[in-house]
Structure 1
Amino acid sequence: MNNNWRGALVRRLLLLVGGCLLLGLLTGAYAWILAIGLATYLCWHLGQLLRLHRWLKEQPDEPPPDGYGLWGEVFDSIYHLQRRNEKARGRLQAVIDRVQESTAALKDAVIMLDSQGNLEWWNRAAETLLGLKTPQDSGQSISNLVRDPRFKEYFDKGSYQEPLDLPSPVNGNRRLQFHITQYGNREHLMLVRDVTRIHQLEQMRKDFVANVSHELRTPLTVISGYLETLLDNVEAVNPRWLRPLQQMQQQGGRMQNLLNDLLLLAKLEATDYPSDNHPVAIDLLLLSIKNDAQALSGDRGHRISLEADAHLKLKGSEAELRSAFSNLVFNAVKYTPDEGQIHIRWWADEQGAHLAVQDSGLGIEAKHLPRLTERFYRVDSSRASNTGGTGLGLAIVKHVLLRHRGRLEISSRLGKGSTFTCHFPGSQMVRRPQ
């Protein structure tokens, strides 16, 4: 209230008191006249207050009632505030409408979930890709609508660094990619993208590699067979051809190993889970791998130690796990200098089961670590050629771990060695009776 209205209020009170005193002078009842005047003034204010209360309760969206004096100023201020709020709401609604129009135009699904995973809002693409229906699906749990067990496991895990690829619940021929981001009070924003075309191209690449690898095996076997026959009868061969034949046989062996690794990768990518899923005694498996690694080391004098929990098993395929673990251990033998140390450890804690292969080799620069599991990626091509590697070993390890719900962690320092650690969730563990 401004100063003019303060003065007007004071003048009205003085006028009321002055009138009451004048009337009291004429009647001789000063107290009664003053009390009646002030009570009347108070009743008038109460009446205006009741008008305000009735308007707020019954018609808050309508303009406030008319008034004069102090209450006229109050009603007028409320009216102007109401108009400003209407304009602000209009601007906010315009922004919301534009956001909804823009998200409705997206080909990707945008879905808002609360902290419990219940549906709050989604755009039009979500109805096409996931089959959501308005309004009956509002408030439903997303796990009730996307029923794939892998999605429930992914959502409950709460770690969304990597997206999840799944078939569409509406059309099994359509492939979807799920991205989840947490915001606010543990709420979720889920983006769903149609990656059917990318999936088809990736499948074509896999089929091409698998088919070419399979078709090359026969001619390579024939060539290797003839080379072996020639070398077995080396006395009948011109001495000038001895070294070329040996090199051809060596390179043929490398090609054979490469084809075997490519076919193994194709087999691993064909399905999501191992077909022979059963508890594997990892301690015995690692003992066998350790003996093979010691034989591979030969006279290089590597000190290989094993520390394994004999009561801890892992659900999965023994053949696939042997391939992955032996890759890690044999790599440590290949890239660790003579008389170096290699330590293999298998243990479990509250996070799950873990396998670590630690060596005292040359180490790897940090810039190479994120790409080590890529196919054919080499830190040093000359070093890989000397060891006879195919560049696919760690890619195989990565795919085997993914099929067993695990992940690979790599830590290394130049000149200090490297540690490759496989982490498996508790659901994959099986405790052998004591």
Structure 2
Amino acid sequence: MFSLALLAYFATLLGISSFYHSLQKWQNHSEDKDISIPSLLLEEPFHKWGNRLLTKQKELLKEQQKRNEELKMYQNLFESLGEGVLVIHKAGHLLLCNSQAKKLLEVRKERKMEGLKLLEVIRNMEIYQFYKSLLHEPAYREKEILLGGRNRRNLLLRGTSIEDGKGKIFGAVIFLSDISSLKNLERMRKDFVSNLSHELKTPLTVLEGFIENLKEGGWENPEQAGKFLEIMERNTKRMSSLVQDLLLLSQLEGGKFQLDLQPIGLEETIQNIIEDLRSIWEEKNIKIHLECPSSLEIMVHANLFIIACKNLLENALRYSPPDSEVLVTCKEDSKEVRISVHDQGPGIPQHEQGKIFERFYRIDRGRARSKGGSGLGLSLVKHIVQAHHGQILLDSQIGRGSIFTIQLLKKKEEHKEKPYKTDITGVP
């Protein structure tokens, strides 16, 4: 009797084990779709219990599958955002970190962040303190920080705490936005207003002084009055030139300038520019060498192209020392024409080269103003070249001078392939 009872008990355990194994196979999506239920469990009271267990298991698996799909949807949503997203548990470990956040924080894309402590992977106290403030004082917050590393950048942190179903805080979510470009534009705007004010103030002060002098009787001395008028005329032309350059630059930046492309002879055009600048290179005894095929033509907007080339050559002459040489070369291949201006000036530091094409930007402001010019020349060159869908390149070393190169397409049809866009943040 005891043996029969033990055998029955063993069979019962075996049946339950087999049934559990079948449920596990179903849960793991086994290819075996038929779940074998032991005959013992088809009898009362196991039959009713087995059906309930199987039904409950199906419901739980269906609910889990639904939650997994929702989780995947939210993960894809966070990945598609252009902003970095961090979801952090109140214990300090990461629950979610999308690829954009890894990029901004300079973390390898393949590195798994979930489950790691925030300070282990980010090591930035400002972000950590911002996260802690969200836990202590639940409210929407913003903060700007400067992030170091290989690429220094300005980040805007926006965050809020997360509550569970009972209203208790269990973590925080932080959105990270790269606002470096906005900060750069803000800096450029402030510099522009400051520099423009200075550029206009100097000639206006001169005019005001000489007008006052003439009012007090200076006009009675014809020779002195003539000199005053010459200086006043020169400063008036300087302001007029500045305003014209600003208007042209505004049109180019807005993409509103309509190009009238026509073929021009490159050698003759540059020879005329050299002649226009004769007073500068003769005064400094600078020799200009031009190497350009006489048959070379290019499709450009003539007036704009002349402004660009004249600004480059004038810039080279102003910064070249006396008794030096400036070389202008024109070369072509099947698709492009390249016009290069090589001077023997002081050269441009590497860290300044990305800013040299900004409006009013000067490496040595005092020295640059003493050499004349509005401070808009190189910015105009860049935007004129971009309007022709070309590139302006710079190769410069301290003590070895600079080479500015304009690259332009040769055929008119190629200019129409792409709409004109402008970039005011640096060299394309």
TM (norm. structure 2) is: 0.48
Q: Which is richer in helix?
A: 1
Structure showing greater radius of gyration is 1
TM (norm. structure 1) is: 0.47
